Amino acid sequence: MEDTQARNREVLEAVRVRRDALYDTVMALERALATPTGGRPTEWADLVRNRVENVQLVLERHVAETEREGGFFDDVLEHAPHLRHAADRLRSEHRPLLNRVAELERSLDGVGSTEDCEAVRAAGVELIRQVLEHRHRGAELVYDAYSVDISAAD
């Protein structure tokens, strides 16, 4: 029993670290998107690009750690096989999220006007919404698997 509790604490701490990193990088992207262009769209795009690259790195790490053999999804399915559908749904969201980040980064190459910035902002805000919804579904899976509310500290 004590080994199981220790293992669960380790799994939950790793999940908490991933969730916090994802949240922090997405909020940094939101702050960059909200920065006024000040008539300098290419400088604004450079700022946003840096934040998008950070989101890409954190999201790639999130995917690798949750999907790896023996990772979070395997742990959930081993101890709560009835949650396969929820885990599969989260897994299926990873590639589209990564693709959206890559699309957002590519869109920054063409920024040359305020109108371009507005289009990037709209795409960035939509990406943020999708990442946060994915994060919320992940919290539900953690709760259902471990009966622990990991978002209480957010």
- Name the maximum alpha-carbon separation found in the chain: 62
CA–CA–CA angle 88, 89, 93 (5° rounding): 115
The pLDDT tens digits for 49-104 are 999 999 999 999 999 999 999 999 999 999 899 999 999 999 999 999 999 999 99
pLDDT surpasses 70 at 1:
no
- Average pLDDT for the chain: 91
Q: Quick one: DSSP state of residue 83?
A: G
- In the chain, where the domains are located: 2-146
Please provide the CATH number assigned to the domain covering 2-146.
1.20.120
